[in-house]
Amino acid sequence: MIAAILFGVFAVLLLIGAPIAVCLGVSSIAAIVVQGLGKPLATIMSSLPMIVSASTSKFVLLAIPFFIFAGNIMEKAGISGKLIALAESCVGHIKGGLAMVCVIVACFFAAISGSGPATVAALGVIMVPAMIRSGYKPAFSAALMAASGAIGVIIPPSITFVVYGSIADASIGELFIAGMVPGLIMGAALLLVALIVGRKMNLETLPKASGQERWKAFKDAFWGLLMPVIILGGIYGGIFTPTEAAAVSVVYGLFVGIFIYKKIKVQEFYSILIDTVSTTATVMFITAAASLFAYVLTRARLDVSISSGLEALTGGNVIIFFIIVNIILLIAGCFLDSTSALYIFTPLFVPVANALGIDLIHLGVVMIVNLAIGLFTPPVGVNLYVACGVGNVNLKQISKAVLGLIIAALTVLLLVTYIPKISLLFL
């Protein structure tokens, strides 16, 4: 009965186009009310604030607003343009080089923003028009930007790793380390597709940059490149925790933006704060609603039933378990954002992974790579919609153009899933 109410209301709201946080929250409240029939409504609802507070007041989640803040600061500081200039000076003269620039810069910017849609928005306004001018089709330009932006949730520091770590009680520092190699492999796969497509087109290339021009571009981008080094080096070196690293990244970003690049003025600081608070509120609203959904699953022992059924279905076979995980998450990624998917599925997968002896860090990387692919998978890939706006193309056009990139990403997913060493190499 509770399961029917929970999933039924959720499905109906999702079909009529309600925001995902509303779908999760309303379906959870409906199930809680039905579960508490016979009790005063005030008594039933009194537990909701405590559940929401407990889920959103974890110290580790402070990293989310700080990383969002740091990403907004570095975007306003003009670091995206400097990274693009550096990449163009290195590979812009190669046929298909501009597409390579798109992927390379996305990898660098991912280590600053920690967010897929933010990476697409910040880089797309520069890269997509530039690719179109050089001869790429608008649909492919937007599709490549959408796929490249997804690397932002894999390469650390990643907000999705922070969320997974808080749910699964896994080390966020180790998750950051584990995400580095898979993120770079994903970037390499997209680079390969970009080169293959570029070779078939009549493209304009940039003049080959001299050593002096490359050195100048490197010096201009140096302070931006140093940011992920400080963040990740500090975490891996044991100097500060991931949450402290997020706060350090804000201070460093402000220093670079105000005193080095001199792009951030006092009047712009207000808009940066507004953007940060708005994005953080969206993430935390989803977190709160998803925590209610997870609470209902636990209270009704639906999570135990689902996990037990999943364990029986796998028959103790790790390969079958990961096939099921990948299928579920690839489908879910088409309709759910990463935070919601993690709150719903992590409590279901972790007990089974523990029973099968699977490392939770490896499981986390597999889940994040799946959800990263979901960011540019039709029909509801968030990155696709952002890229459509930037490239002035419709969903049908970009959906066709992104197919080759999805195939490349799925190949990487298979490697990451069944070769754990790729994720655990440095642990």
**What digits encode the pLDDT tens for the residues 304-318?**
788 888 888 888 899
pLDDT at 96 over 80: no
The 10s digit of each residue's pLDDT in 317-363 is 999 999 999 999 988 887 777 888 888 889 889 999 999 999 999 99
Which of 7, 2, 21, 1 is closest to 290 using CA atoms? Answer: 21
The count of residues in the chain is 427
pTM of the model: 0.85
Q: What is the pLDDT of residue 361?
A: 96
pLDDT at 113 over 70: no
User: Sign of the C-alpha dihedral, residues 22, 27, 32, 34?
Assistant: positive
How far apart, in whole angstroms, are the C-alpha atoms of residue 93 and residue 114? 29
Which of 222, 235, 203 is closest to 95 using CA atoms? Answer: 203
Q: What is the pLDDT of residue 363?
A: 96
Q: What is the pLDDT of residue 52?
A: 81
How far apart, in whole angstroms, are the C-alpha atoms of residue 22 and residue 10? 9
DSSP code, position 94: S
How far apart, in whole angstroms, are the C-alpha atoms of residue 261 and residue 357? 49
Confidence of residue 131 (pLDDT cuts 50, 70, 90): confident
What radius of gyration, in Å, describes the C-alpha atoms of the chain? Answer: 22
Of 40-54, 219-233, 256-270, 306-320, give the lowest mean pLDDT range: 40-54
How far apart, in whole angstroms, are the C-alpha atoms of residue 344 and residue 341? 5
pLDDT at 419 over 90: yes
Q: What is the pLDDT of residue 360?
A: 95
Confidence of residue 115 (pLDDT cuts 50, 70, 90): low
